[in-house]
Amino acid sequence: MTAMFARRNPRPLLRTALIVVAYLCAFIILDLISRQFEELRGIVAWYPPAGLTYALLLVFGEGFTPAVTITLLISSVFIYHMPQPPYLLLLWALIISSIYGVATAFLRHRIRFDWQLRKSRDVTWLIVTAVFVSALLAVLSVSSSALSSDMPRNEVLRAIFIWWIGETVGVLTITPFLLIHAMPRLKQFAEAQPVRSPARWSFPRPTLSVIGQAFTIAFMFYWVFGARGLDEFRPMYLITLPLIWIALDHGFKGVTTGIVVLNFGVMLAMWFFRLDLAHLGELQLLMIVNCIVGLLVGAVVTERKRAEEDIRSLLRQVQADKDMQDRLLDSMSDEVWFADTTAHFTLANPAACETFSLKSAINTDIQQFAESLEVFRPDGSPRPVQEAPPLRALEGETVTDQEEIVRLPLSGELRYRLVNASPVRDAQRTIIGCVSVVRDITNRKRAEEETVALQAQLQQSQKMDAIGQLAGGVAHDFNNLLTGILGNTAIMRSDLPASDPLVANLNAVEAAAHQAADLAKGLLTFSRKAVVTAVPLDMAEAIDTTLDILKQSLPATLEIVRDYEQTVWNVLLDQSQMTQILLNLAVNARDAMKGKGTLTIRARNEVVGQEYVQDHLLARAGEFVHLSVTDTGPGMSSEVMQHLFEPFYTTKPVGSGTGLGLSVVYGAVKQAGGWITAVSTDGAGKNTPQKHPLDGKNILGGIEQICSGATFDIYLPRCLEEPTQSFTPSPLSVDVRGGTLLVVEDEPVVLAVAQALLSRSGYTVLTAPDGASALKVLLDHPTDIDLVLLDMTMPGMTSGEIVHAIRTLDPTVPILLNSGYTSNDTVKQMLAESSVQGFLGKPYELDQLLKKIQQLLHRG
């Protein structure tokens, strides 16, 4: 209320004025009613205005005291017509209002009084202060009146008693009723808040219980006050019984209404039944008993109901929290385990139970449960039972991100798990249990291992590509040298008679050069830079044809098992490469089995999906023919598997092999657009799988176990075209007719040999060591040159730039490409575009060179 007076906004001041005026009016009305029960001058048996005043002071605070003072002064002058001088009346009003103000301040600030009376302590303090304040006011008021008048002394005590009881009954009757039913809305009005209508009518609804209570009150009033012949004995305290019923049924809110009804009824009964005022003291005691009993019982009942409701609300909250906990645990994919100090599980979520096929984990002994499982450390060693994370947590240890491997009981599957366990402590830090959270990280581990495998595949592929580049470069330079050797050998042979002893030496040189040329051809195949002619092949027929020829060179103790699908798809492959693939794999298997065992060759149609591609770096999705070659030898060690397809790597004794067999297979398969993988036992005949780094890797169960030996799996793309009939072209006769040839070659030895061979064959030979020199020769001889023999690897200008420049100077001159290696796609593109007319690989012999030149010169 003080805050209300302090505001400068006129609207709050208006609300304050309205409240004061309403208080004054209500006080006067209640004062006039109470005068009907005046026993002595200025002293009434029941004083409701005191209850109104006390209620307003408790709500608005001691700041409302001036309004109380003014109201008391007006009442003394205009209602009770007190004979004292005005200043004494003002002093009296100030004393009365100050006593109420002090009592209010004591309750509000010292006791922390809740004016809404939510607890029984507040009701008790209201009763105590009402009794003491009323007694103090009675003593002061009656004593001052007695001193200023001729009131007999024997009347003083009676007057004090009547004042005290009447004031106390007025406060205990009106104050609780107003605090519960009226003051909350008046407070809202004073604070400019929207005045909320009650959710339900403040008074009890006319239920059967309420009707019974009203009938009982009416009957009790009639029996106590209206029945005849009860002058000497009136059981007035029976009226309290319905009030107790109301308190038990409706609580504090209902009993405040009941007290008002009963006490008003008592006063009305006195007036209506015209009872003798000799019973006034007894009636006052009846009313004060009604107030105290009703308020205390109602407060206790309400507080108990509120406590019960709080308990029910708490139980509902606990149940809601439990339901939420259950939903959270049910929705978690991680396993959650709770255990008590007896080392028994008390709770496990569905994920935990499903993992180990448990109906319930409650009361499961942790140690026995751990003993029933196969658990391994990350390094694969068995984990002791005492290292189980829940047992360690119960000892006070916190386990963080511990990895373990568990074999599931039913499926036998190995699963990687990440375990976190910690002790659960109470407020005194005493361990009362533990909680473990387990996450299945098998997929993560699989992804990590697949990443490692893919990185190994990528490194191996890059290494193989680098070795291929090196091998191709070596083969190119080697072929240049071999061209010079074979050319000079041919020149020397042509100058010697057939009977010359040196001819045999030249033949040996030529044979060695051819063997070296085969070695270079193998390197080119590995590096995928050999020029091949891929045609549609019937896979089954190609395998059978090759095996029929191969079988003649294999020992009889080696059995060949053919296992084909009924209809194997066609592939696009050079027949010579098909022969190289099967020949090298079969020879490798024969040597591994030492000529005795089983060689199994399978052919299947397969559709490769993305799941397989993710595990194999070189693979791609699509339709493929899967060619599998398996032997029954001892297999290969992991060290051998690391270098399996590298050129010149061999485990055979010196002189027993070149180390190019599997390199040729690798290059031929990759050049055909496929890929090859290898799986083997450990090289000692033990059933321990080994894989090549280019192959994919599975975890937790490993790859499929094979009985023994090695298996090479080759995937070749399906070809939708039908195979064509192969043919053998008729040989061309060498008929040299002469002409002018331009030889463009950067290798001096090859250039000299080509010039000598072609000059001896009747051609006029012009030479150029690079592209710029070749263009200058063309400019100097614009119409004389009949053919250009061009090496593809030239300094300064690329072969493509040289060809383009030649075509600018002479669009019709034939160009014959030759090289120690080249890109198959580059040769095909140049031939398809007719920018060049032919290709001849190094090393070449004179007959090959002359046939090709004659073919191009006379192609029309």
pLDDT digits (tens, 9 = 90+) for 55-103: 999 999 888 999 999 988 888 777 766 667 788 888 888 998 999 999 9
Residue 694 falls within a domain, yes or no? yes
Q: Flag the least confident range among 184-193, 398-407, 504-513, 692-701.
A: 692-701
557/681 same-domain check: yes
Q: Residue 653 pLDDT > 90, yes or no? A: no
* In the predicted structure, residue 690 carries a pLDDT above the cut 60: no
**Residue 121, domain CATH:** 1.10.1760
Scanning the structure block, which residue is given the tokens 């029941």?
A: 46
Pair of tokens at residue 663:
């390199």
Mean pLDDT over each residue of the chain, to the nearest integer: 78
Assess whether 543 and 522 both reside in one domain.
no
In a domain, 724, yes or no: no
d(CA 310, CA 319): 14
- Asked if residue 398 and residue 295 are part of one domain, the reply reads no
CB 688 within 8 A of CB 454: no
Query: Quick one: 590 and 692 in the same domain?
Result: yes
Whole-number CA gyration radius for the chain? 58
Domain that holds residue 399: 332-440
DSSP-assigned beta bridge partners for residue 819? 841
Vertex 856: Cα angle to 855 and 860 (nearest 5): 90
Of residues 752 and 702, more confidence is placed in 752
Write down which residue in 496, 526, 556 finishes a domain.
Answer: 526
Render pLDDT for 420-469 as a digit per residue (tens, 0 to 9). 999 999 989 999 999 999 998 888 888 777 777 666 666 655 555 655 55
Q: Is residue 129 part of a domain?
A: yes
Read off the pTM: 0.47
* pLDDT at residue 395 tops 50: yes
Question: Can you give the pLDDT at residue 687?
Answer: 41
* pLDDT greater at residue 148 or residue 92: 92
pLDDT, tens digit (0-9, with 9 covering 90-100), for 781-793 = 888 898 999 988 8
Q: Calculate the alpha carbon distances from 504 to 176, 501, 509, 518 in Å.
A: 139, 6, 9, 21
Angle of helix 86-105 versus helix 120-148 axis, rounded to 10: 160
Confidence of residue 222 (pLDDT cuts 50, 70, 90): low
Could you tell me the end-to-end alpha-carbon distance of the chain, in angstroms, rounded to an integer?
123
Residue 262 pLDDT greater than 80, yes or no: yes
Q: Is residue 633 part of a domain?
A: yes
Final residue of a domain: which of 440, 461, 486?
Answer: 440
pLDDT digits (tens, 9 = 90+) for 626-645: 999 998 888 887 777 777 77
Q: Are residues 620 and 506 in the same domain?
A: no
Q: How confident is the model at residue 221 (pLDDT cuts 50, 70, 90)?
A: low
Flag whether 312 is in a domain. Answer: no
Q: Does residue 1 register a pLDDT over 60?
A: no
CA distance 657 to 485: 24
Instruction: Clarify whether residues 157 and 39 are in a common domain.
Output: yes
Average pLDDT (587-591) is 80
pLDDT range class, residue 503, cuts 50, 70, 90: low
Return d(Cα 389, Cα 6) in angstroms, integer. Answer: 68
Q: How far is it, in rounded angstroms, from Cα 338 to Cα 435?
A: 5
Q: Is the pLDDT of residue 727 over 50?
A: no
Which residue would you say has higher pLDDT here, 592 or 822? 592
Percent of the chain with pLDDT over 90: 17
- Residue 818 structure tokens: 């030759």
Tell me if 232 is assigned to some domain: yes
State the Cα–Cα distance between residues 732 and 737, nearest whole angstrom: 14
The β-bridge partners of 566 are none
The average pLDDT across 827-848 equals 81
Is residue 696 very low, low, confident or very high in pLDDT (cuts 50, 70, 90)? very low
Q: What is the pLDDT of residue 430?
A: 92
**DSSP count for the chain of H helices, then E strands:** 26, 22
Residue 577 sits in a domain whose CATH number is 3.30.565.10
- Three-state SS for 697? coil
Does 322 map to a domain?
no
Q: Is residue 313 in some structural domain?
A: no
Domain count, the chain: 6
At 692 the pLDDT is 47
Together in a domain, 840 and 704:
no
How confident is the model over 322-378, as pLDDT tens digits? Answer: 888 888 888 888 889 999 999 999 888 888 888 888 888 888 898 888 888 888 888
| Co-location of 27 and 158 in the same domain | yes
pLDDT bucket at 419, cuts 50 / 70 / 90: very high
pLDDT in tens, 149-203: 666 667 788 888 888 988 998 999 999 999 999 999 898 888 877 766 554 444 4
> Measured between alpha carbons, how far is 658 from 69 in angstroms, rounded to an integer?
125
The pLDDT, as a whole number, for residue 613 is 82
Instruction: Provide DSSP, 551-565.
Output: HTTS-TTEEEEEEE-
**DSSP calls for 186-228:** HHHHHTT---PPPSS-SSPP--HHHHHHHHHHHHHHIIIII-T
Is the same domain home to 575 and 609? yes
User: What are the angstrom distances between the C-alpha of 299 and each of 303, 338, 692?
Assistant: 6, 44, 87
Domain boundary among 270, 305, 340: 305
Nearest partner of 787 among 856, 684, 717, judged by Cα: 856
8 A C-beta contact, residue 713 and residue 676? yes
Maximum pairwise Cα distance, the chain: 181
User: What was the pLDDT predicted at 715?
Assistant: 92
751 phi and psi angles, rounded to 5 deg: -65, -45
CATH number, domain of 515, equals 1.10.287.130
Note whether 357 and 415 are same-domain residues.
Answer: yes
- Identity at 710, one-letter amino acid code: A
Structure tokens at 380: 């694969």
Same domain (yes/no): 544, 650:
yes
Question: Is residue 284 within a helix (H) or strand (E), and if so which, with residue range?
Answer: helix 280-331
336 plus 276 within the same structural domain: no
Alpha carbon separation from 775 to 237, 473, 756, 770, 807 (Å, rounded)? 139, 27, 22, 9, 10
Quick one: which of 438, 436, 432, 408 has its CA closest to 422? 436
Give the range among 31-40, 149-158, 413-422, 511-520 with minimum mean pLDDT: 511-520
